[in-house]
Structure 1
Amino acid sequence: MKLTCYILILFTVLASSCTKEFLEEDPRTFLTPGNFYKTEADLQMGLNGVYRTPQDRYSNMWGAPCWFGWATDLGYLTPANGHAFHNQPAHLRADFNPASDMPWNMWDYIYRHVKDINFLLAAVDVVDAPAAAKTSIAAQARAWRAHLYFDGVRIFGALPLILEPVSDVKALNSLTRTPAAQVYEQIIKDLEFGIASLPNTYTAAADKGRITAGACAAMLARVYITMAGYPLRQTDKWEKARVLLKEFVDDKKYGAQYNLWPEYSQAFADANIQGGQEAVWTVNFTRGTFGQGSQVHTDFSPIELYYDSRAGLTRGGGWSNELPTEAFLASYNQARDKRYTFTYWRSTADLPTEYAAINNSAGGPVVFAAPHIKKFRETSPNDNSQGSGLDHYIIRYADVLLMYAEAINETNGANAANYVNLVRRRAGLDDLPAMSQTQLRDHLLLERAWELCFEGERRFELMRTGTYYSRVKAWNPQAGANIVQNKHELWPVPQREIDINSNLLPNNPGY
Structure 2
Amino acid sequence: MKKNKNIYTKAVLGLGLIVAIAVIPACKKSFLNVPEQGKQNSAVFWKTAEDAGKGVSAIYGNLRSWENTAFPAIAIESMGSDDAEKGSTPSDASFFNDFDQFNVDPAQGNIGGFWSGQYRNINYANQVLDNVPAIVMDEALKARYLAEAKFVRAFSYFRLVRAFGNVPLRLTTPKDANVDYNLPQAPAAQVYAQIEKDLTEAAEILPQTYPAADKGRATKGAALTLHAKVAMYLKKWSDVATYTNQVMGMGYSLLPDYEKVFRLENENGPESIFEIQCVLLPGNPDASNSQYSQVQGVRGTSGVDGGGWGFNVPTADLAAAFEPGDPRRSGTILFRGTTTPEGDVIPKVGDNPMYNMKSYVPFKLYISNFNEGAQQNVRMLRYSDVLLMNAEAANELGNTGQALSSLEQVRRRARQGNPDILPAVTTTDQTALRAAIYKERRVEFAMEFDRYFDVIRQGRGTAVFGPKGWKAGKNEVWPIPQTEVDLSGGVLIQNPGY
Relative contact order (alpha carbons < 8 A, sep ≥ 6): 1 or 2 greater?
1
Cα gap change, 1:351 to 1:31, in 2 (>3 Å): closer
**What does residue 452 of structure 1 align with?**
445
Aligned with 2:333 (options 344, 349, 360) = 344
- Given that 1:7 and 1:49 are in contact with CA atoms closer than 8 Å, whether structure 2 keeps it comes out as no
Distance, in Å, in 2 between the alignment partners of 1:370 and 1:471 is 23
Deviation at 1:98, TM superposition (A): 2.1
Match of 2:245 in 1: 246
One-letter code of the match for 1:201? T
- The residue that corresponds to 1:412 in the other structure is 398
Q: Give the number of equivalent residue pairs.
A: 456
Query: How does 1:396-411 map onto structure 2 within 5 Å?
Result: 396-411=382-397
1:165 is aligned to 173
Alpha-carbon distance, 1:173 to partner: 4.5
Mapped to 1, the partners of 2:175 and 2:207 lie a distance apart of: 33
Residue equivalent to 2:119: 111
**Distance in structure 1 (CA, Å) of the matches to 2:14 and 2:351:** 49
Q: 2:480 aligns with which of 480, 487, 493?
A: 493
Q: 2:335 and 2:40 mapped to 1: Cα distance?
A: 52
Deviation at 1:378, TM superposition (A): 1.4
Q: Which moved more, 1:108-117 or 1:259-268?
A: 108-117
* Contact 1:195/1:217 (8 A) holds in 2: yes
In structure 2, give the amino acid aligned to 1:215.
Answer: A
- Conserved? CA contact 2:76–2:114, under 8 Å: no
Q: 1:217 aligns with which of 216, 219, 224?
A: 224
| Letter paired with 1:267 | V
Return the alpha-carbon distance in structure 2 between the equivalents of residues 322 and 243 of structure 1.
35
Give the letter for the 2:463 counterpart.
Answer: S
Q: Is the 8 A contact 1:348 1:367 kept in 2?
A: no
Within 2, Cα distance between the matches of 1:467 and 1:131? 47
Query: Rg larger in 1 or in 2?
Result: 1
* Aligned equivalents of 1:11, 1:58: Cα separation in 2: 14
Q: Equivalences for 1:356-395 in 2 at 5 Å?
A: 365-366=348-349, 369-379=352-362, 381-383=364-366, 386-387=370-371, 388=373, 389-395=375-381
Cα distance in structure 1, aligned partners of 2:155 and 2:341: 40
AA of the residue aligned to 1:442: A
Give the 3 Å change call, closer, same or farther, for CA 12–392 of structure 1 in structure 2: same
Query: Is contact 1:56–1:64 with CA below 8 Å preserved after alignment?
Result: no
CA distance in 1, matches of 2:110, 2:189: 25
Aligned AA (2:331): F
Contact 2:75–2:96 (CA under 8 A) maintained in structure 1 = no
1:27 — aligned with what?
Answer: none
Matches within 5 A, 1:198-347: 198-203=206-211, 205-228=212-235, 237-249=236-248, 252=249, 255-256=250-251, 258-274=252-268, 276-288=269-281, 289=285, 292-303=288-299, 306=300, 310-314=302-306, 317-334=307-324, 336-347=325-336
Partner secondary structure for residue 234 of structure 2: helix
Higher mean C-alpha deviation, range 218-227 or range 384-393: 384-393
1:269-321 per-position Cα deviation (integer Å, ceiling 9, x unaligned) = 212122x1001011111025376243233233232xx1x6x33445xx32221
Contact kept, 8 Å, 1:69 with 1:457, in 2: the verdict is yes
The Cα shift of 1:353 comes to: 7.2
* Contact in 1 for aligned 2:63/2:121 (Cα 8 Å): no
**Residue 412 to residue 503, structure 1, CA distance change in 2 (3 Å):** farther
Name the structure 2 match of 1:64: 73
Give, in whole Å, the separation in 2 of the partners of 1:157 and 1:185: 13
The residue aligned with 2:413 is 426
Preserved contact between residue 153 and residue 159 of structure 1 (Cα < 8 Å): yes
TM-score by length of 1: 0.83
Matches within 5 A, 1:68-147: 68-78=77-87, 80-93=90-103, 96-147=104-155
d(CA) in 2 for partners of 1:352, 1:50: 34
Deviations 1:354-390 (A, max 9, x none): 346x97xxxxx54664222223211262428633212
Change (3 A) 1:57 1:436: farther
Q: Percent identity?
A: 29
Q: Secondary structure at the residue paired with 1:199?
A: coil
Q: Distance in 1 between matches of 2:153 and 2:68?
A: 18
Mapped partners of 2:490, 2:53: distance in 1: 36
Q: Secondary structure, in 3 states, of the residue corresponding to 2:273? A: strand
- Give the match's secondary structure for 2:71: coil
Structure 2 residue runs of 5 or longer lacking an equivalent are 1-5, 16-38, 416-421
Quick one: structure 1 residues 509 and 126, their matched pair in 2 at CA, closer, same or farther if it must change by over 3 Å? same
For 1:158 and 1:490, the matched residues in 2 are separated by: 9
* Cα distance in structure 2, aligned partners of 1:294 and 1:188: 29
State the distance in 1 between where 2:278 and 2:191 align.
29
Shift of 1:219: 0.4
